[in-house]
Amino acid sequence: MQATTESLTADRVGALDKPAAVRVPQPYWNPYLAGFGLGLVLLAAFVIMGRGLGASGAFTSLVAAGANAVSPEHAKANEFYAEYLGDGTKSPLMDWLVFEVLGVFTGGFISGVLAGRVKQTVEKGPRVSVGTRLAFAFVGGGLMGIGAKLARGCTSGQGLTGGSLLNVGSWAAMMAIFGGAYALAYFVRRQWQ
């Protein structure tokens, strides 16, 4: 109880010298309500565009554009980059998923500001240092980058989109995602619990 009061006071003091973004955060939405909203956005993407949501593909376009900037010959010779570069008539960054992910950053920020949750911090459990946590974040991101390419998408593209289209590879990938995470959870528990 003492600790709670102290941290609340600390937040209030912080609120005085920072703009409205720092205040007591609102509780998260009911998961079914948030999921329903997310489902409607996904349905809108199907109806309007004929494709679903994604995330990892946007970062691949970014990497392909980077490789092309560093060495166009090297990028063109690599089938993987070449697929994202297209015929070279337009920038790989003028891509649907790139603009969609720019929207994700924007929408996340808008929601965070409205709920008072925008705060410079590191998400971690109490028993791990910031340095260790950031090292794990980098390694986890790296594995996710490689995995997303082999799986042809990530939790968004395969899980949400492919899942709701009853796509076979998507359901296999989604079960493997949960299976892999549960299998490893015990070994990295100190980072979170």
Partner 1 sequence: MNAPFFKFGLFGDNVSLIMAFLIGIGFGFFLERAGFGSARKLTAQFYLTDLSVFKVMFSAIVTAMVGLFYLSWIGFVDLSLVYATPTFIVPQVIGGLLLGFGFVIGGYCPGTSAVAAATGRIDGMVYLAGIIAGLVAFGEAFPMVKDFYYATPMGQVTLPELLHLPYGLVVFLVVLMAIGGFAGATWVEKSMAVKKGTLRA
Instruction: Map the footprint of partner 1 across residues 21-60, applying CB under 8 A.
Output: 28-29, 31-32, 34-53, 55-56, 59-60
Smallest separation (angstroms) from partner 1 to the CB of 164:
4
The reply on whether position 14 binds partner 1 by CB under 8 A is: no
Site for partner 1 in 53-112 (CB under 8 A): 53, 55-56, 59-60, 62-64, 66-67, 78-81, 94, 96-112
Q: Which of 6, 142 has the CB closer to partner 1?
A: 142
User: Beta-carbon neighbour count of residue 125 at 10 Å?
Assistant: 12
Stretch that binds partner 1, among 1-9, 11-19, 117-125 (CB under 8 A): 117-125
User: Beta-carbon neighbour count of residue 27 at 10 Å?
Assistant: 6
Pair 42, 164: CB distance under 8 Å: yes
- Given candidates 11, 23, 76, 147, which one binds partner 1 under the rule CB under 8 A? 147
Q: Is 67 exposed, middle or buried (0-12, 13-18, 19+ CB in 10 A)?
A: buried
Tell me the one-letter amino acid at 151.
A
User: Beta-carbon neighbour count of residue 26 at 10 Å?
Assistant: 10
Smallest separation (angstroms) from partner 1 to the CB of 72:
14
* Tokens of residue 67, six digits: 């490789």
Calpha distance 104→120 (Å, rounded): 18
Calpha distance 81→63 (Å, rounded): 8
The reply on whether position 154 binds partner 1 by CB under 8 A is: yes
Counting residues that bind partner 1 (by CB under 8 A) gives: 122
Q: Which of 87, 138 has the CB closer to partner 1?
A: 138
Site for partner 1 in 160-179 (CB under 8 A): 160-179
Q: Which of 13, 184 has the CB closer to partner 1?
A: 184
Pair 145, 137: CB distance under 8 Å: no
Smallest separation (angstroms) from partner 1 to the CB of 16:
19
